[in-house]
């Protein structure tokens, strides 16, 4: 193949991929350029300043309480993800491996929750949490998020447990292991890859949870990172520079984690999309 | 010891090898008579494993759903006693212009959240055909994925700035000599809804593209070679090989993005709050506002129920359409 023929072959591909990638980052670049302008000025479009004001990020960090927000989101993720991973695995194991009676009915019931939007539960949840005395508390957000994660999590883990040969539990039961021992010492270690992907997906959905966070928690510093954005915008909507710097900082932790483990994220999300 | 030995043993008699998941229902039917007398206490005991999940799901999803359905038949301000009103809340969803408009808008958003991303994704996927493991390919993949990683609320902020009078969109138009078209996009009655829609296009395109690229990578390349030897044009190859080969992936893209369009909340809430006027109002934001700013809990519930039924009515038939033959 001559150089020109090769170029003609790869050029459309390169151009399209570049265009798609540019489209994806353009809004973020536009934010970034605005965040570097002097505070109090009115930036125009994308224009990278000669003297970028990096300290805007320091100011935004303090104004937006990023330290507190990262801690808060971390608490929520730690409260939701491990618990949801454990109880969804147990349920999926019961449905797929123990074949509990009426297990399929339970599974169909869960599938309903996979399609229904959060909008139908959010208002009743508000009053339910109010009567439970959990409104405005982190626990009051953690518990519903665990419950609402069940449809996808059980669905995901059931697919995994269906692929585990039944001989495995048979031989372990012959060796005298009860279902709990078999689950803990044989099934869970084998489920690590499936659990890891599930963990990534639930980390993202918890960290980025918006609707439930703004409804169930009044105090922006106790919300998720995404929920905190609402309070931050309310307070700084006129200051374009600080707003963009703050919003970028609020996005930064997930972007950082994503860049570090991108292959893992992409694999989990593509598989999650197909399974979900 | 107590791993439901009855059914297990019954299984091994008829199906001694490990079975794929799809083989289960039929094979279960053959073993059922065998297993039923032995459906022991141990098997019911397996429910102990499922109980925590069932409990959490019932308390935080099923119960609220039932409450919403119940509330939808009442007039309630959230404080004083509720009065039953029959189906009045539902009639109002379809007769009160702003409520009906919100549903129509969410249907319009399907064009932007679903149709455009799938078309763009198909275009990129069919030209690139496989994800190259080169440095540039990996970088493009990473960048295309970014919109999926950041919260929708944050993308709304980014785009609000893009759409502002001084933002990048107007800057680009001026640079192209189309300065007469510039405007405050999200404040414009005509353009606000498409502008919000484009945010959804931005959010969904990366995921759709990568999913379709992954799918196209699984199609046997010899099909394309054979077709081009037969003189099939690129377009013919696309229609005869690519489209049918991507049926399942397209189904996934369509399902996810249609739900995202109908149940959209954070993008609209953060970018326009439904305004100007009601020009970008969607059911999600309307449910929130009816409940928490207008104290019309019953009306809010009725709209939420209608929204849920709408999602089911659109998504369930889609599952059938895209089912692999």
Alpha-carbon separation of residue A181 from A170, A176, B7 (angstroms): 13, 9, 19
Instruction: Check residues B282 and A9 and name the one with the higher pLDDT.
Output: B282
pLDDT at B39: 58
A233 within a domain of the structure (yes/no): yes
CATH number at residue A160: 1.10.3720.10
Residues of chain B in contact with residue A125, where contact means CB-CB under 8 angstroms, are 60, 64
A window 30-89, beta carbon within 8 A of B: 30-31, 34, 42-46, 87-88
Poorest-pLDDT segment among A121-125, A236-240, B69-73: A236-240
Q: Would you say residue A128 has pLDDT above 60? A: yes
Residues of chain A in contact with residue B205, where contact means CB-CB under 8 angstroms, are 20, 23-24
ipTM over 0.85 threshold: yes
In tens, the pLDDT along B79-102 reads 899 999 999 999 999 999 999 999
Residues of chain B in contact with residue A31, where contact means CB-CB under 8 angstroms, are 157-158, 161
Q: Which residue of B has its CA nearest to A46?
A: B168
In tens, the pLDDT along A140-161 reads 999 999 999 999 999 999 999 9
How many other β-carbons are positioned within 10 Å of the β-carbon of residue B17?
A: 8
Tokens representing B25 are 């229902």
Indicate the burial class of A270 (C-beta count within 10 angstroms; 0-12, 13-18, 19 or more).
buried
Among A182, A259, A266, beta carbon nearest to B141: A266
Average pLDDT over residues A1-22: 78
pTM reported for the whole predicted model: 0.88
A264 and chain B: CB distance < 8 Å anywhere?
Answer: no
Q: Average model confidence (pLDDT) for chain B?
A: 86
Instruction: Check residues A180 and B12 and name the one with the higher pLDDT.
Output: A180
Indicate the burial class of B80 (C-beta count within 10 angstroms; 0-12, 13-18, 19 or more).
exposed
In tens, the pLDDT along B284-310 reads 999 999 999 999 999 999 999 999 999
In tens, the pLDDT along A187-234 reads 999 999 999 999 999 999 999 999 999 999 988 888 888 888 888 887
Q: Would you say residue A249 has pLDDT above 80? A: yes
Q: Which residue of B has its CA nearest to A240?
A: B161
Residues of chain B in contact with residue A276, where contact means CB-CB under 8 angstroms, are 256
A61 within a domain of the structure (yes/no): yes
Contact yes or no for A229 and B144 at CB 8 A: no
A164 within a domain of the structure (yes/no): yes
pLDDT at B212: 94
Residues 6+ apart with CB under 8 A from A49: A33, A36, A37, A38
Instruction: Check residues B48 and A45 and name the one with the higher pLDDT.
Output: B48
A window 125-184, beta carbon within 8 A of B: 125-128, 143-144, 146-148, 150-151, 154, 159, 162-163, 165-167, 169-170, 172-173, 176-179, 182-183
Q: Would you say residue B31 has pLDDT above 70? A: no
A274 and chain B: CB distance < 8 Å anywhere?
Answer: yes
A215 and chain B: CB distance < 8 Å anywhere?
Answer: yes
DSSP per position, A33-80: HHHTSPTTS---SS---SS--THHHHHHHHHTTHHHHHHHHHHHHHHH
Q: How far is B102 from chain A (nearest CA, A)?
A: 14
Q: Which of A229, A216, A92 is nearest to A149 (CA)?
A: A92
In tens, the pLDDT along B229-285 reads 999 988 999 999 999 999 999 999 999 999 999 999 999 999 999 989 999 999 999
Q: Would you say residue A131 has pLDDT above 60? A: yes
B window 5-34, beta carbon within 8 A of A: 5, 7-8, 11-12, 18-19, 21, 24
A175 within a domain of the structure (yes/no): yes
Q: Where are the domains of chain B?
A: 100-276
In tens, the pLDDT along A63-113 reads 888 899 999 999 999 999 999 999 999 999 999 998 999 999 999 999 989
A235 within a domain of the structure (yes/no): yes
pLDDT at B21: 44
A190 within a domain of the structure (yes/no): yes
Element holding B200 (H helix, E strand): helix B192-217
Q: Which fold has domain B100-276?
A: MetI-like fold (1.10.3720)
pLDDT at B26: 46
pLDDT at B262: 97
Residues of chain A in contact with residue B120, where contact means CB-CB under 8 angstroms, are 20
pLDDT at A274: 75
Among B62, B166, B248, beta carbon nearest to A45: B166
A43 within a domain of the structure (yes/no): no
pLDDT at A225: 83
Q: Would you say residue A11 has pLDDT above 80? A: no
B318 and chain A: CB distance < 8 Å anywhere?
Answer: no
A149 within a domain of the structure (yes/no): yes
Which phi and psi (to 5°) does residue B18 adopt?
-70, 140
How many other β-carbons are positioned within 10 Å of the β-carbon of residue B309?
A: 12
Please tell me the total count of domains within chain A. Answer: 1
What's the residue count for chain B? 325
B179 and chain A: CB distance < 8 Å anywhere?
Answer: no
Average pLDDT over residues B196-200: 97
Alpha-carbon separation of residue A94 from A104, A118, A148, A187 (angstroms): 11, 27, 19, 12
Q: How far is A217 from chain B (nearest CA, A)?
A: 13
**Range of the structural domain that residue A254 is part of:** 56-275
Tokens representing B261 are 């369009």
Q: How far is A65 from chain B (nearest CA, A)?
A: 16
pLDDT at A234: 79
């Amino acid at each position: 193949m001559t150089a020109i023929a090769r170029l003609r072959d790869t050029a459309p591909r390169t151009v399209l991929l570049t265009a798609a990638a540019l489209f994806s980052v353009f809004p973020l670049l536009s934010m970034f350029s605005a965040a570097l302008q002097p505070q109090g000025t009115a930036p125009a479009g994308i224009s990278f300043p000669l003297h970028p004001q990096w300290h805007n990020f320091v100011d935004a960090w303090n104004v937006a309480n990023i330290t507190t927000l990262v801690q808060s989101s971390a608490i929520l993720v730690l409260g939701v993800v491990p618990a949801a991973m454990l109880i969804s695995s147990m349920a999926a194991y019961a449905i797929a491996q123990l074949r509990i009676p009426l297990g399929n009915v339970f599974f169909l019931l869960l599938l309903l929750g996979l399609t229904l939007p959060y909008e139908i539960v959010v208002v009743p949840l508000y009053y339910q949490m109010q009567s439970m005395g959990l409104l405005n508390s982190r626990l009051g957000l953690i518990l519903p998020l665990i419950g609402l994660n069940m449809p996808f999590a059980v669905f995901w883990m059931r697919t995994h447990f269906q692929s585990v040969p039944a001989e495995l539990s048979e031989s372990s039961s012959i060796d005298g292991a009860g279902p709990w021992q078999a689950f803990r010492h044989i099934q869970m270690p084998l489920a690590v890859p499936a659990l890891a992907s599930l963990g990534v997906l639930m980390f993202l959905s918890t960290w980025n949870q918006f609707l439930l966070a703004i409804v169930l928690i009044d105090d922006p510093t106790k919300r998720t990172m995404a929920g905190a954005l609402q309070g931050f915008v309310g307070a700084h909507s006129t200051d374009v520079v600080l707003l963009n710097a703050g919003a970028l900082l609020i996005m930064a932790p997930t972007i950082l984690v994503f860049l570090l483990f991108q292959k893992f994220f992409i694999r989990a999300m593509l598989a999650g999309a197909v399974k979900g | 010891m107590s791993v439901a030995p009855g059914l297990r043993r019954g299984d091994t008699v008829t199906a001694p090898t490990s079975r794929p998941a799809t083989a289960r229902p039929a094979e279960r039917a053959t073993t059922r008579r065998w297993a039923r007398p032995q459906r022991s206490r141990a098997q019911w005991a397996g429910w102990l494993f499922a109980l925590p999940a069932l409990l959490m799901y019932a308390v935080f999803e099923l119960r609220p759903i039932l409450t919403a359905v119940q509330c939808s038949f009442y007039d309630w301000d959230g404080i004083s006693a509720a009065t039953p009103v029959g189906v009045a809340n539902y009639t109002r969803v379809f007769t009160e212009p702003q409520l009906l408009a919100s549903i129509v808008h969410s249907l319009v958003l399907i064009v932007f959240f679903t149709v455009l991303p799938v078309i763009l994704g198909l275009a990129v996927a069919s030209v690139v055909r496989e994800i190259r493991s080169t440095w540039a390919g990996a970088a493009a993949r990473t960048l295309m994925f970014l919109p999926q990683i950041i919260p929708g609320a944050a993308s709304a902020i980014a785009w609000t700035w893009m759409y502002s009078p001084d933002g990048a969109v107007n800057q680009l138009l001026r640079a192209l000599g189309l300065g007469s078209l510039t405007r405050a996009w999200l404040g414009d009655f005509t353009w606000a809804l498409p502008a919000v829609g484009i945010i959804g296009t931005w959010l969904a395109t990366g995921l759709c593209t990568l999913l379709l690229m992954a799918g196209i990578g699984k199609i046997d390349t010899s099909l394309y070679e054979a077709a081009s030897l037969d003189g099939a044009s690129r377009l013919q190859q696309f229609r005869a090989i690519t489209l049918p080969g991507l049926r399942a992936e397209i189904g996934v893209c369509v399902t996810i993005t249609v739900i995202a369009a109908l149940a959209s909340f954070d993008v609209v809430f953060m970018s326009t709050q439904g305004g100007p006027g009601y020009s970008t109002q969607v059911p999600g934001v309307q449910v929130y506002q009816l409940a928490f700013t207008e104290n019309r809990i019953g009306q809010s519930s009725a709209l939420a129920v209608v929204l849920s039924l709408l999602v089911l009515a659109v998504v369930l038939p889609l599952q059938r359409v895209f089912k692999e033959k």
